[in-house]
Structure 1
Amino acid sequence: MMTGRNLSFTLAGLLVSFSCLAQVPSSTTSDSLLTYLRTHASTDTTYVRVMDKVIYTRIYQKADYARADSMSRQMADVANRLNDWFGVVRAYRNRGMVSYLTANYEQALGHFKKTLDVAEQHNLPPSVIYGALGNVAVGYEKVGNDPMVLQTALKAIQLQEQYNLRPRVPTTHRLVGGTLVKLGKIQQALPYYREAGVIFRENGDLRGIAIFENQLGDLYNDIKQPQRALPHFQECLKLGKQLHFELLQFDALDGLATSLRMLNKPGEGLPYAQRALQIAQKEHNKLAISTIYATIATLYQAKKEYVQAEDYLKKALALAEENDYKDERKKFVQQMADLYGEQNKYHLAYAFQLKKNKQVDSATTVRTNAEVQRLVAKYETEKKEAQIKLLQQETLLRRQEAERTRFMLIGSVLLLLLGVAASAWLLNRSKLRRLEEAQTLRKQIAHDLHDEVGSTLSSISLLSGMVNGLIAQNRPEQVERAIQKINTDARQILESIDEIIWTINPGNDSLHRIALRLQEYAQPLMESKGIEFRFTVDASLDQFPVPMEVRRNLYLIGKEAINNLIKYSQATQAVLRFEYQNEQLKILIEDNGKGFEPDPSSQRTGQTSMHQRAQAIGGHLAVQSAPGQGTRLQLVVNP
């Protein structure tokens, strides 16, 4: 969802990734380009390039989005006819930008995917594919598909590193960092944010540096550290003034106001918010105006000045509804419900909460109401017909009542007894099955806790008892080693419990989640050993749920193989690939290390355990290796 604090950042992230764009034409140049289009036929690629520059001007100088989209459609047709695949990519890129800037993110993602499809299908240079991947990742971010953000952005980063592409784009690192923050993995996110800052400075991009400072401020606000956010927003504001970048100044001022509200200083935040409102009104940016109205409302709410808060929030909501800013509208409605709730106006809070929860659009509602009316009318008709039939049947029953009463009574009793018996049998069977499943799960959790946690806790207990004696004996070196061992064991317990919780969590019951979990486990280990790591996963795997036991064994096999690779292979390159082919899941882990001579009778490196786990889930594990020729491990399973 686009907020006031990232209006300039998201736009700049896309612009940077479009490294193939030409410089912005001047007004004189733009006029001459239009003259060229009017006086020349669309018979060569030069015509397509000129169209691209004119469209660029329409988007970024004149904000004429409707005309830019129309010309981009024409540009795509001409480029397709000329087999100018670079031109086709640029045309769909422009259409994606128009959709993006008009907050139609689903449509923008579709256009960005088209640029990637064309670039890959026609083997365009890696730099073009790199930029397309970055924009697809931004599209996934806007529609809230976090797994695909990570997959696409990491793929772009790997491509850049593989071909040493320059200039690098900071967008992909920022996306990975931002997604990890949303998943609560702050420490894993920080290196990606730092690398994004390095890239901005590496490119000598003062504008990018300023935007990055704003993003860092947002990050610290998101993790509830507003005091650390303030200097970043202040630096962003200074650079925004130096660059005469109004939207960036707006973002910084909005961020400062938000930070001060979080620090319980809403009075100090109001002047910043009012300055941001002046900029938004000067730029005639309705999205920014609605956003800063909402920020001002939160400041007045923090000051307990509810009348002003309600007034500004109503203005924000009215703008969002008028311009169909769907994400902002949902956020402001929720904010309104919270505001009324804080004032104990529960009837109003309830009304807005219902409005927030109602996700069906008006067209669907109309269709639903019409369907309801049709069903009601049908029901009334059928009810009347049933009443007529019932009267007829009652007349007939009266005539036969004497003969049938006894037989009906006997039959009803028998049917009732049979129904009770069948219901009892089914209920007991269902309860037994649920008890068996619960017992199996409890045994599995107990077994895992005993094996993976119990022995380590015993070790910590023994070491803790030793420390006091070592301190009394004045043996500091042994004390330090014992404490380090306790720290190591404690981390191991945390990792084991995290894996157990992940395994039993039904939200992880998909092959795609297993793949991402293994990548998350392998990436830092590979980096620590300087191994170039490539990870690919078939996106369709998200459609396949798997039972807990299968998921657990798949993960442990992959984890064991990765540990073996790290410990023994001495590799410089490694691949982890998840594929779905011919209704079979194939997991490949391959390296270019020193290899070994396979020995079926050997118990080395946990191979026996991996084979047993593969058999337990009906799979087949094949290990291929030879001295000096690396190792290839492939697991094939029918999900």
Structure 2
Amino acid sequence: MDSLKKVLITAPDTTKIKILNYFSEVMVDVSPAKAIEHAREALKIALELKSKKSEALALHNIGNGYYNLADYKTALSYYIKSLNIKEALGGNKKGLLVSLGSIGNVFLDQHKPDEAYRYLNQALQIAKEIKHKTGTASALIAIGTVYSEKKNFEKALDYDFQALKIFEETNNADAVATCYNNIADAYQDLKDNKKARFYVNKALAIYEKEGNVYGMALALNNLGSFNEKTGNWKRALEYYKKGLDQAKKIGANDRILASYKGISASYKKLGQFKEALAVNELYQQMNDSIYNTESSKQIAEMQARFDTEKKAREIDLLTKDKKIKENELATQRLISGSIAVGGLLVLLLAIMAIRAYVQKRKISNELAVKNEKIENAYNIIEDQHNDIKGSIRYAKRLQEAILPTVAFNKTFSGNAFVLYRPKDIVSGDFYWIEEITTQTQNKILFAAVDCTGHGVPGAFMSIVGHNLLNQAVNEHGKTKPSDILDEINIGLSETLRQSIEDSAVKDGMDIALCSLDKQGDKYLLQFAGANNPVWIVKADQPSTLIEIKGDKYPIGVFLGEELHKFNNHEIELVKGDTLYVFTDGFADQFGGKKGKKYKYKPLQQLILSIQSETMVRQHDILNRALIEWKSDLEQVDDVLIIGVRV
């Protein structure tokens, strides 16, 4: 997406619309508010260009954003506007299929299965007519939900399994997971808990693999529901809380509502009535905002107005058709009169009519060819979008494979934490650990690294940096932090073919690297840093924080600069002292009431205030503080904090 953002600056308006709509489609399950923002920008340009097809797509994408925010009234208004334009344009049955399916889903979430079925069945017939597999499967799974609403769970399962078969054939992982989730719901309602739990766990595994936050919230809430129905209220509470955490990440109000309801019920059954009441109040407030009577009335009015306008258009077409027929009759009378006057005039009129017909036929054929080209171009863009998304998700799995999560937990055994929140699907930040045990030394090396950029470019740099750290220690035998930084400084320059003479690009890394060596009852800490420091909180009471700053230059060779040597710092630690290394993402995050940066001083104060907590609890406090500070604003950079208690 970063590369497309650069293209967006200089691209022509027609290309900008495509890119902005693509951004909206990618972000809708991750940040619905951001998806709405991109689609509104596309709509503005489409209106300026008077491009009705682009306007319809942008309106539909805005509707998708509001749908994921559970603002069903606003979502429906945009879906109907989009559908009206598509019907007026004619010919784009794929577009009609998408709009009808989305409107049907709104009525499903409003618990109006009969209205939902009317739109979804239209969508299904169009999908079958144009042989659109994904559209057919999407309509089938939605109709399955209609039958679940009507308590006909056997028929719901029939539709769900039909949809599952098609989605598996088209390798649509997210949709397969949704099918599993709906199948689990049906089996649960049929009291077959074993099958229900089997399918919801399959759904959760796919959602986690694909990074689908909305899906994870859905599946976790379902697991809470299953445990609730089997009387395991404590386990149910755990799943509902996990579902709530995921739903809050993207503001998915319908999932948040389901989590609140389950948490309140679980607290009540566990005898924690005060907590149950507090969560129930949150549930009632959100439930009123989503499903209030006025909103339902307005949705019904929109549906009635849409049906009335559609009937008016049909009457208008019939009136025009009648006038055309009357004109044809008048023309026939004129021709008959003309025959009586003279055959020559009849012949002349016939020639003119034939010529007009040929011209009309030619124009019709040209329009058909243009429509086919437009449809092909749309399909190409859609395929490219899917390829790019798939490639980025694969890159995420590669990057996760190099992160030493298991080794980190094994080495520190609960006396440490890693707070790791990438800005995008993949990250430019990474953490690293290596334990060195020989006859002469027993050291633990660990580092927090911030590579140039974030997203895909940053991820590439992180893999380079990870390999260079391993080479410096495992192949070149470096264990002193400053020596390791000097080694990877040279290695990075060689890998990227940078030199003082020919490099004008600053590709590099900021890093905080520590070495812990236990010596009796004390520990020797060695530290070297490129731009980033280490914070040490002493075990004394009251707690004090010591900052050891890194050198003020990064890893990497840049034009006009010399290859610097890094300084090594040593300090003795005692049991109970705590170390923190980090990148700049937390401190640089915008948020709060004034939308300003968090900054380092408040972060130091926060860390000092939580020293009495366990390291696991410290992770949760820092994570919650970041989420609350950021609120609805976009995350500006990758976030990484490592805490270690000796």
Q: Which TM-score band applies after superposition, normalised by the shorter structure?
A: 0.3 to 0.5
**TM-score under structure 1 normalisation?**
0.42
Which structure carries more strand by proportion? Answer: 2
**TM-score under structure 2 normalisation?**
0.42
Which structure carries more helix by proportion? Answer: 1
Q: Higher relative contact order by CA 8 Å / sep ≥ 6: 1 or 2?
A: 2
